Structure 1
Amino acid sequence: MKKWITLSLFITSIILMGFTLNKKKKVIFFGDSITQMGAGNGGYIRLMEDLIKAENKSEEFELVGAGISGNKVTDLYLRLEKDVLSKHPDIVVIYVGINDIWHKRLAGTGTDYVKFGEFYNVIVKKLQAANIKVMICTPSVIGERKDNSNEQDGELNMYSNWLRYYAKTNELPCVDLRTDFQNYLIANNPSNEEKGLLTSDRVHLNAKGNQFVAASMWKILKDLK
């Protein structure tokens, strides 16, 4: 009788281990309207699912969008518990910064450089305290001119430099969209157009932009252990 009980417990443990090993990693994409649109048809999150499927990894990842239009880093902080922590993700991809800079000119609001870093750090530390892995993204573009002549290129570069440094010093994976976009535009924007290459309106992604971001993010995400 004891042998049967022992055997049953062994078999049960093997089955439970199988469920644990096969559990999908829940990835939440936390951001603004770019991420909100990214969760819709043709958006970068949905296109990333196609890339995952093409590599036969569909059983390994569950992708969830948590973007809200107009959000800045302070907004992400305020909804962190409700929209992220309560969902118990394994990985969170933070893609924020465009509105923190853009809204300074667009609406007279925005987030100053020091405050941006302070709120960003608190978000990361709260995620890490919940044993959630964090992937950082630098902001992409506010205008697609390739020669740093877009009005807010200087601030984009400054905030992106801080994010790169923060990722490096905290040993966090970083999707450097700022550099990726700049390199693409240098190679593919001979007329120095302001929009229409990867964005529809200088900020939000067009079809090609969504494909570009999906590929850039997946390249880093796939190797995140």
Structure 2
Amino acid sequence: MKKWIALSVFFTSILLMSFTLHKKKKVVFFGDSITQMGAGAGGYIRLMEDIIKSENKSEEFELVGAGISGNKVTDLYLRLEKDVLSKQPDIVVIYVGINDIWHKRLAGTGTDYVKFGEFYDVIVKKLQAANIKVMVCTPSVIGERKDNSNEQDGELNMYSNWLRYYAKTNQLPCVDLRTEFQNYLIANNPSNDEKGLLTSDRVHLNAKGNLFVAQTIWKELKCLNNF
């Protein structure tokens, strides 16, 4: 009897170890309408799942969208517990900043530079306190002209510079979408068009833009697989 009990305990332990070893890493994408749309058909999150499948890594990652249209960094802070921490993710990808800048002109609202950094830091610290890995994304574009002549390019560059510095200082992986978009537009926008390359309306991603973001984030995300 003791022998059978010992064998039973042994095989149960093996099964539990196998489950633990093969547990998917849950990745929550935390952001605004770009991420909300990214969780829908043809969106960057769904396209990333296709890429993951093509690389035979479907058993390693579970991707969850947590984007809400119109959100700024302050909105992310207010719904952090409900929409992110409650899901107990392993990794959170923060993609915010467009509305913090865009809404200054669009609706007379937005988030000033100092407040943006303060709220962003609190979000990151709360995630880290829960042993969650954080990935930072710089905001992409508000207008696709390649020569920095879009009205809010200056602010986008300023906020992106802060995010790069913040990520480096805190040793966080950074997906520099701002630079990636700018480089793409320099190479592929000879007419200096305001939209239609990677966005449908200067901000929100078209089909090509969703694929571009999926590929760009995935390059960094898969490097976090062995933490």
TM-score class, shorter: over 0.9
Displacement of 1:2: 2.7
Partner of residue 42, structure 1: 42
Counterpart check, 1:81 vs 2:62: no
Q: Distance in 2 between matches of 1:79 and 1:24?
A: 24
Deviations 1:41-85 (A, max 9, x none): 000000000000000000111101000000000000000000000
- Written as runs of structure 1 = structure 2, the 5 A alignment for 1:196-215 is 196-215=196-215
Q: Distance in 1 between matches of 2:7 and 2:145?
A: 68
Displacement of 1:7: 2.1
Partner of residue 162, structure 2: 162
Partner of residue 111, structure 1: 111
Partner of residue 68, structure 1: 68
Partner of residue 183, structure 1: 183
Q: Distance in 1 between matches of 2:20 and 2:131?
A: 17
Partner of residue 59, structure 1: 59
Partner of residue 26, structure 2: 26
Match of 1:92, SS state, is strand
Displacement of 1:3: 2.8
Q: Distance in 2 between matches of 1:151 and 1:97?
A: 16
Q: Distance in 1 between matches of 2:163 and 2:6?
A: 53
Displacement of 1:146: 0.3
Structure 2: gaps (5+ residues): none
* Equivalent residue letter for 2:100: D
Displacement of 1:11: 1.1
Match of 2:216, SS state, is helix
Match of 2:124, SS state, is helix
Match of 1:146, SS state, is coil
Partner of residue 90, structure 1: 90
Q: Distance in 1 between matches of 2:51 and 2:217?
A: 11
Normalised to the residue count of structure 2, the TM-score between the two structures is: 0.98
Partner of residue 152, structure 1: 152
* Equivalent residue letter for 1:53: K
What RMSD, in angstroms, separates the aligned Cα atoms of the two structures?
0.6
Deviations 1:101-130 (A, max 9, x none): 000000000000000000000000000000
Structure 1: gaps (5+ residues): none
Match of 1:193, SS state, is coil
* Equivalent residue letter for 2:175: V
After superposing the two structures, state which structure 1 stretch, 6-15 or 172-181, moved more.
6-15
* Equivalent residue letter for 1:104: K
Q: Distance in 1 between matches of 2:187 and 2:71?
A: 31
After superposing the two structures, state which structure 1 stretch, 205-214 or 2-11, moved more.
2-11
* Equivalent residue letter for 1:37: M
